[in-house]
Structure 1
């Protein structure tokens, strides 16, 4: 008859292997959202800067046509800035809805009650 300690050790080893295999199948690796979040930030920055430059271009063109230098550029930059802010807010709302749909609801960080 086999030694009961050896049989027990073998059963524990097989059980550990099965538990490790089950854990490897069930544990999901967390997705990396950093690159997508950085892309969202660059997109918003492009909208903000692009709006100002487009307004500057339209203002400069208006100055050439209407011969009203520098008022066309000043008004163009201000209008371009206002439009770029509006577009950035709308883009951020769309990105937030997309991220919430893909990533799920926002989870708070655990509270840090300890004083360092």
Structure 2
């Protein structure tokens, strides 16, 4: 309620200022709508890193077999090393992606407890 000695114009100005402050606070809230598309893109990138690492290791192993002449061992070692490197790269990429998402959208919020799952 406006104070009795306050004019109507002053009360409207105060109300407009409060409305603008409320709009500014709501504008600061970050929307999570774009996060789903970004996260699915990150998933595809991680799959590419995992599969690509194995194939690159396989290729290097095949080249080593052709050059050195140790027929199956170069490919076996190449696949294992490629798999290990791809796991390491995927973990490192996931950490970087998580940091980007947290920076853009804030920390993840906990879901409320689901009472239906308890037996």
Q: TM-score range by the shorter chain?
A: 0.7 to 0.9
Does the CA contact (< 8 Å) of 2:57 and 2:82 recur in 1?
A: yes
Name stretches of at least 5 consecutive residues in structure 2 with no aligned partner.
1-18
Q: Indicate how the Cα distance of structure 1 residues 114 and 81 shifts in structure 2: closer, same or farther if over 3 A, else same.
A: closer
Deviation sequence 1:41-79 (CA, Å, 0-9, x none): 000000000000000000000000001001000000000
Aligned residues: 93
Q: For the pair shown, which has the larger CA radius of gyration, 1 or 2? A: 1
Compute the displacement of 1:33 (Å).
1.8
Distance 2:93 2:78 in 1: 22
Name stretches of at least 5 consecutive residues in structure 1 with no aligned partner.
1-21
Does the CA contact (< 8 Å) of 2:65 and 2:71 recur in 1?
A: yes
Q: TM-score, normalised by structure 1?
A: 0.72
Q: Which runs of 4+ in 1 moved over 6 A?
A: none
Q: TM-score, normalised by structure 2?
A: 0.71
CA RMSD of aligned residues (A): 2.1
